[in-house]
Amino acid sequence: MSSKSKNKGKSWERDVCLFLSELYNDSFIRVPNSGAYTGGKNEYRKEYLTDEQIKLSRGDIVPPKAFKHFVAECKNYADFPFHQLVSTGRVALLDSWIDQVEADSEEKDTWLLFIKITRKGTYVLYPISNKLFSLERGVRYRQYWFCEMQYFFRHYKDTCLAYWKNSI
């Protein structure tokens, strides 16, 4: 029997897949049995997997085949210390999420961290070093930009599509 928090996470992953599938009219699915199959301490598994198998186990979402440079991590939490985003301190929870998605990403990838906070909203976080995006609304956290998810895709739907399909 799955834990309540695992089910909550799986549900958010499915919601993100549905959102992206509808947005791009293509099929995005959850990574089966996701849980860092090739990330973190399991990096060694990449030694005996094919490139296609590695692609299928990166992040939380399996993108369509044409989306070569897309990696996504999804987090669904009850609470988040938003006040720490604008303070001089660090957000340990957010740092751990960033470490996770960066471990699953390669140099050419444009990754997104999809975040859902109960009764607060849905957000994306991405590296500022990615010159494809420059939004006015949001919060800078270290070398990343944290903004509302719908706002991000309203502005960068086509840019993401072109980059993930390697046409930029």
- 76 forms bridges with which residues in the sheet? 116
Per DSSP, helices labelled H in the chain are: 4-24, 51-56, 92-104, 149-164
Question: Span 132-160, mean pLDDT?
Answer: 86
Taking only Cα atoms into account, the Rg of the chain, rounded to an integer number of angstroms, comes to: 15
Question: Span 149-163, mean pLDDT?
Answer: 89
Cα–Cα distance for residue pair 164/147, rounded to 1 Å: 20
Opening angle at CA 25, ends 20 and 31, nearest 5: 45
Helix H or strand E segment including 114: strand 110-117
- Assigned token pair, 4: 């309540």
Cα–Cα distance for residue pair 168/163, rounded to 1 Å: 5
pLDDT (tens digit per residue) in 87-115? 867 899 999 999 999 988 888 888 999 99
Its pTM stands at 0.86
Can you give the residue ranges of every domain in the chain? 4-164
Crossing angle of the two packed helices 149-164 and 4-24, in degrees rounded to 10: 60
Cβ atoms of 73 and 113 within 8 Å: the answer is yes
Cα–Cα distance for residue pair 93/107, rounded to 1 Å: 24
pLDDT of residue 81: 92
pLDDT (tens digit per residue) in 48-93? 777 777 666 778 998 888 888 889 999 999 999 988 887 867 899 9
